[in-house]
Structure 1
Amino acid sequence: MPTAAHLHALDLGRFVTASPSSFHAAAEGARRLGDAGFRLLSEEEDWPTAPGGYAVVRDGALIAWSVPDGAGPLTPLRILGAHTDSPSFKLKPKPTTGRLGWLQAGVEVYGGPLLNSWLDRELRLAGRLVMLDGATHLVATGPLLRFPQLAIHLDRNVNEGLALGRQQHMNPVWGLGDPGSADLLGLLADAAGVDAREVGGFDIVVADAQESAVFGAEGEFFASGRLDNLSSVHAGLTALAGSQGAGDSIAVLAAFDHEEVGSASRSGASGPFLEDVLARIGDALGATAGDRRRALAASWHLSADAGHAVHPNYAERHDPANHPVLNGGPLLKINANQRYATDAPGAALFARLCAEAEVPYQEFVSNNDLPCGSTIGPLTATRLGIRTVDVGIPLLSMHSARELAGVQDPWRLAKVAERFFAG
């Protein structure tokens, strides 16, 4: 019989499949929360003041919250932050290109993908089309594109080192014919059921088309695209839906867009989205500016983003004393230079949450000779002054088109998130 962790991984796979772009991830999250009784709001309407579960979507970002009975102006918040975007490629203007009888797509690199991992695999397009009248339509194709690698017969030294030019080599093929008589945007419009002539703008990315998989000697591995960071979004959705109305805090899931390119957007963690939502929640509870500051002072932010497991073939790239492994539990991410926001109080909070959830956890710290990545944690801590701790599940092949996790860790992160939301 499948374990709870196995069932959670299978549902995570379904969530990833339904979320080939950040816009789809936000929409799928809102749909799932709607099924759990949350009410989807528009930013342009008056928001209700009654306790309950609510959600709002801004472009490719989703913020959802649950207000318990008896909440007031000083009720603290428990915010789980994550991000909906993943490293990929984005369609350029005039995306239909090609030469020598091939149809190709003009794409721009988005974030920091592991380029070689995208070679020789079936890919799909997904995102949004915005019509001249302002209407937005989400669209996703089936397997459509491929970055074909040059045969070894034509590059005998390729195994000595593969060099990929972003402009020259990363142009996927999607058909045969004359680019002058083909229309990739028209294909997307047909898939969305709209008139291509009425499309005024588009945000379309490339996504892996392969389904997720559980495998390994004892089914201990989970492989999928976009685990960085849909694994955290899914954990937050699962926990929020399962803990609605519980505890004495306002539980908030903040799933931002554009983390992979710096978060500086209206739907990114450096933008005003979360601050706007929290202000409106406070207004509904009758909070003054002083009340909001007091509530934030009593609040916590759990910044959930994937981290690195130790790689058996590259152990020298890791800290010699800290070797997180798959299925060893979620990571507590620490960096002396505040690339992660975890401090001693945050570490103590996470240790307590994991103990209450009966979940093991592991510390992650970088090798001093290698630069450390960052997350939305320091950004949110800086914007709001809120106490923040950085966590996430361990991965191998981060930023690959297909990343590797343990089956146990996503489920364990969701269990810890439930304890966090319960206050």
Structure 2
Amino acid sequence: MSDIDHAQGLCEFVDGCPSMFHTTARIARRLVSEGFAELPEGDAWEVVPGGRYFTRRNNSSVIAFAVGKDLCDYHFQVAAAHGDSPCFKVKSAAELSGPGDYLRLDVEAYGGMIDHTWLDRPLGIAGRVLVRDGARVESRLFDSAADVALIPSVAIHLNREGGKSPELNRAVDLCALFSAGELGEGSFDRYVAGKLGVDAADVLARDLFLYNRQKACVWGAASEFLSAAKLDDLGCAYAALGGFLAAGVNDAQVNVFACFDNEEVGSNTKQGAMSTFLKDALVRANAALGRSDEDLRRAVSRSFMLSCDNAHACHPNHPEKHDEANRCWLNRGLAIKEAANQHYCSDAFSRAAIAAVLDAAGVPHQTFANRSDMAGGGTLGNLSNTQVSMHGVDVGLPQLAMHSAYETAGARDVELGVDALAAYYRCDLHIDGADSFELR
């Protein structure tokens, strides 16, 4: 595949993932098509050398693993991304009536988005709905697949200062318009039920989110750019999955791909990176292979994680926002991220390890650190390490406008990201404590 093919593949992936539930379902379908067998958490697991498997939790997080055939002194090589992005969640009592005949949706922020970028965009609604079917209640995916809501801004004539720097009250300014009078009280639940082909009384609960339906695209006079909703972190999820599948089974180790939910709200949920999900999957896979708890602890001590979450590319209009020596750029490859406050899990050992892997494969990479007077954000690597401790490094695709309703990255970086992850999974990174490592 060419760099443009990979970029178009990411566009298609993003357009097919309107919520974290759809992202997990799409990844699961891809894994099945590649010959992976699903292991539900509620079933007994059978795992054999050479096998390929995946499991889901909450239908919003997924972990896949490919088991080597020669697991003498084995270890795990993990890459983890997240499938959630900042957006607006529809509240349980969804409707706000008035003023006049208006019908609005009562929403609250999920994560830290750039609020004003959501204004004046036709929006869809997607997520999951719990539906009663006789004595059974089942979860169903929901996607309006149409523009059904919009958050209108206030005209400049009514708010002279707002045009320069809008100050938005999320309880007042960010309610979504759903109807101007054609729809009455109870219409939202009836709309959702109608799309699912059920009675409104049988909709018991829902996790529904507004999403930007503007299509992802590759653009620019030289096709250098890719813009889409949710590039943070579907860009890394796509690259990590692509590299994981391209690498196949590495007989010396167990390759693991994870896509977690809830990173944008702290990861401390049953399906987040701070949960037991990864630990449970590794423990159960190890036991199903007939290995002992001692074997598992030894394997984890030799294991490695790539925490994959996008990085801030140098802004063309505000280079002063970035560290002078440790800034990253579009279309120059994966950024290796570091922070002295350990908001990233990178240290000298792990940075050296991933740099050695990528250098050996001839895959370009770059460095990123925040300005020393800016706190920066955190991600999932160190949070996951509270449950399963292993050497880890934070990496990400460089992008602009992180947490906007529509973000921008480098089109060529998608291929470079897939190549980097494939090189990582193909390599046998043999670790000896924190003293040395060897590429085999």
TM-score (norm 1): 0.96
- Tell me if structure 2 keeps the 8 A contact 1:83–1:233: yes
2:25 is aligned with what amino acid?
Answer: A
| Contact in 2 for aligned 1:27/1:57 (Cα 8 Å) | no
User: How big is the shift at 1:415?
Assistant: 0.9
1:162-214 C-alpha deviation (Å, 9 max, x unpaired): 11001000001122227753421221222222332112111111111011011
Cα RMSD of the aligned pairs, angstroms, is 1.4
The amino acid of 2:82's aligned partner reads H
Query: Which residue identity is paired with 1:292?
Result: L
Following TM superposition, by how much is the alpha carbon of 1:358 offset from its aligned partner in structure 2, in angstroms?
2.1
User: Contact 1:103 / 1:178 at 8 angstroms: preserved in 2?
Assistant: no
Counterpart secondary structure, 2:47: coil
In structure 2, how many angstroms separate the alpha carbons of the residues matched to 1:272 and 1:179? 44
Q: Does 1:242 align with 2:240?
A: no
**In the superposition, relative to structure 1, how do residues 358 and 194 fare at CA in structure 2: closer, same or farther (>3 Å)?**
farther
Structure 2 residue 162 is matched with structure 1 residue 162:
no
CA distance in 2, matches of 1:18, 1:195: 27
Q: Cα 1:195–1:356, aligned 2, differ >3 Å: closer, same or farther?
A: farther
**Aligned residue pairs, count:** 420
Q: Quick one: which amino acid aligns to residue 295 of structure 1?
A: A
Equivalent residue, structure 1, for 2:137: 134
| Residue equivalent to 2:177 | 173
Identity %: 36
CA contact (8 A) 1:90 1:205 kept: yes
Deviations 1:46-103 (A, max 9, x none): 112223111111121011111122336x421010011110000101011022312222
- 1: CA distance, partners of 2:362 / 2:117: 36
Q: Which residue matches 2:118?
A: 118
Cα separation, 2, equivalents of 1:146 and 1:281 = 46
* Rounded Cα–Cα distance in structure 2 between residues aligned with 1:70 and 1:247: 5
1:247 to partner: Cα distance: 4.2
CA contact (8 A) 2:70 2:251 kept: no
Question: 1:420 is matched by which residue type in structure 2?
Answer: Y
Q: Does residue 1:359 correspond to 2:356, yes or no?
A: no
Measured in 1, the distance between the counterparts of 2:360 and 2:2 equals 18
Match status 1:375 vs 2:379: yes
Q: Structure 2: which 5+ residue stretches go unaligned? A: 429-440
TM-score of the aligned structures, taking structure 2 as reference length: 0.93
Shift of 1:134: 2.6
Question: Retained in 2: the 8 A contact 1:223–1:403?
Answer: yes
Worse overlay, 342-351 or 169-178: 169-178
Per-residue CA deviation, residues 123-178 of structure 1 (Å, 9 max, x unaligned), is 11100011243311001012111111111121222233211001000001122227
CA drift at 1:328: 1.4
Is 120-129 or 356-365 further displaced after alignment?
356-365
Verify the 8 A CA contact 1:71 1:285 in the aligned structure 2.
Answer: no
Distance 1:52 1:248 in 2: 13
CA apart distance, 1:14: 1.1
Aligned-pair CA distance for 1:28: 0.3
Give the conservation status (yes or no) of the 8 Å contact 1:247–1:421.
no
Q: Which residue of 2 aligns with 1:4?
A: 2
Deviation per residue, 1:342-393 (Å, 9 max, x gap): 0111111111222233221111101111112001111122321110100010
Q: Distance in 2 between matches of 1:16 and 1:195?
A: 31
**Unaligned 5+ residue runs, structure 1?**
none
Which of the residues 396, 410, 415 maps onto 2:414? 410
Which of the residues 321, 330, 338 maps onto 2:334?
Answer: 330
2:327, 2:110 → 1: CA distance?
30
Name the structure 1 match of 2:92.
93
Measured in 2, the distance between the counterparts of 1:201 and 1:158 equals 37
Amino acid at match of 2:358: C
How far did residue 232 of structure 1 move? 1.1
Partner of 2:79: 80
SS for the counterpart of 2:387 is: helix
CA separation in 2, counterparts of 1:344 and 1:382?
A: 20
Find 2:156's aligned residue among 149, 152, 155. Answer: 152
